Amino acid sequence: MIRPVGSDELHPLYVYDPIEHEKLSHEAENLPSVVISSQAAGNAVMLGGGYFSPLKGFMNVADAMGAAEKMILTDGSFFPVPVMCLLENADAIQGADRIALRDPNVEGNPVIAVMDVENIETVSDEQMETMTQKVYRTTDPEHPGVAAFNSQGRIAVSGPIQVLNFSYFITEFPDTFRTAVEIRNEIKERGWSKVVAFQTRNPMHLAHEELCHMAMERTGADGLVIHMLLGKLKPGDIPAPVRDAAIRKMVELYFPPNSVMVTGYGFDMLYAGPREAVLHAYFRQNMGATHFIVGRDHAGVGDYYGAFDAQTIFDEEVPPGALDIEIFKADHTAWSKKLNKVVMMREAPDHTKEDFILLSGTKVREMLGRGEAPPKEFSRPEVAKILIDYYQSLND
């Protein structure tokens, strides 16, 4: 089985021992505490589940700058983005060696993790701008990832953490949320050796489904892990429960039995395009995938990134040997009227745009909102039905 990044074993930061967990939970209630940002809470969930292994906690400014500028931390290890706990105000924890981090996304703000404080630093405007530019390739405040990153505050609290819970993900998505530890264990139980991972924040149309079939066939994979983002998205994106239902219906009807795991992870979308693609590959290796599909404008938003920037970054910027997972580089897939099947557009050089069935997201949403199913060459009717029900509920 593929080894985790930078280690022979995963290092999840969740406290699994029940006695230790109870003791830590009791201690946490009496510690100085602070409510952290949603992005920091997502980082804690990922650290807890082993996805960010072997990180031990939140980065200090030097490590965050190293991750942003070169994807290399001060100890020489590889990590593609800053993992920070940024606060607007640290008065409540000044002088404390050990603090409780409280969850902003759950009522009552329960403690999500306990931190041993190593540094409380102020991030300069220049450092913030550098990190933003390097990670997002823009400082445009209209970019949703840039806006979220820069709205957290300028005080960086860093140090190792022990995680006590997985926020709302385990209660709201009990059938879907899985840690890297759990996915790795299930891959082992299924006896899969080659595993393709597919990232999604949207329901899967026919082209996505066929792309997964292509990737499995061409890599000789035993299994596919459809791994959906369950955290915060931008306005207008389809809610996770609807996506989940649509994807499960597609898998049930159009994939062989026991060939697909439908899972999800708790993290807020960065919309960081190429850099987020590298992060996605990083934690897919940690969960046990040997191959990862990176398509056109992976994890992008608007027109901030070139169509294939999220693929070329692996060849041009990721340090050699940093990752063992293999990237399956995909082009846009669509139904060919000439060939009567879904193809990768680059593999049909004799086609013009008119030879494909291409529908914009806006057009599809309008059709679904009117109760119309998109053409069968675009979406499975059973999947379309779930989406139509959702869009029509918005109009009720």
In the chain, what are the domain boundaries? 18-170, 176-395
Please give the average per-residue pLDDT across 277-304, as a whole number: 96
Dihedral in degrees, nearest 10, Cα atoms 165, 168, 174, 178: -60
Q: What is the DSSP string of 312-362?
A: HHHHHTSPTTS--SEEEE---EEEETTTTEEEEGGG-TT--GGGEE---HH
- Check residue 394 and give its pLDDT: 84
Asked if pLDDT for residue 395 goes beyond 90, the answer is no
- Check residue 89 and give its pLDDT: 95
The CA-to-CA distance between both ends of the chain, in Å, stands at: 49
The secondary element (H helix, E strand) that includes residue 27 is helix 18-28
pTM of the full structure: 0.94
User: What is the residue whose two structure tokens read 């700058």?
Assistant: 65
Sheet of strand 326-329: strand arrangement:
260-265, 223-229, 195-200, 291-294, 326-329
Question: What kind of fold does domain 18-170 have according to CATH?
Answer: Sulfate adenylyltransferase (3.10.400)
**Measured between alpha carbons, how far is 339 from 366 in angstroms, rounded to an integer?**
28
Asked if pLDDT for residue 237 goes beyond 80, the answer is no
Asked if pLDDT for residue 361 goes beyond 90, the answer is no
Catalytic residues: 201-202
Predicted confidence band of residue 254 (pLDDT cuts 50, 70, 90): very high
Asked if pLDDT for residue 44 goes beyond 90, the answer is yes
* H and E: helices and strands count for the chain: 13, 15
- Backbone torsion region of residue 182, taken as left when φ is above 0, otherwise alpha when ψ lies between -120 and 50, otherwise beta: alpha
- Check residue 238 and give its pLDDT: 84
Is CATH 3.40.50.720 the right assignment for the domain spanning 176-395? no
SS3 assignment, position 115: strand
Asked if pLDDT for residue 187 goes beyond 90, the answer is yes
Lowest mean pLDDT among 22-36, 119-133, 296-310: 296-310
- Check residue 369 and give its pLDDT: 87
- Check residue 364 and give its pLDDT: 87
Please give the average per-residue pLDDT across 86-114, as a whole number: 97
Cβ(119)–Cβ(74) under 8 Å? Answer: no
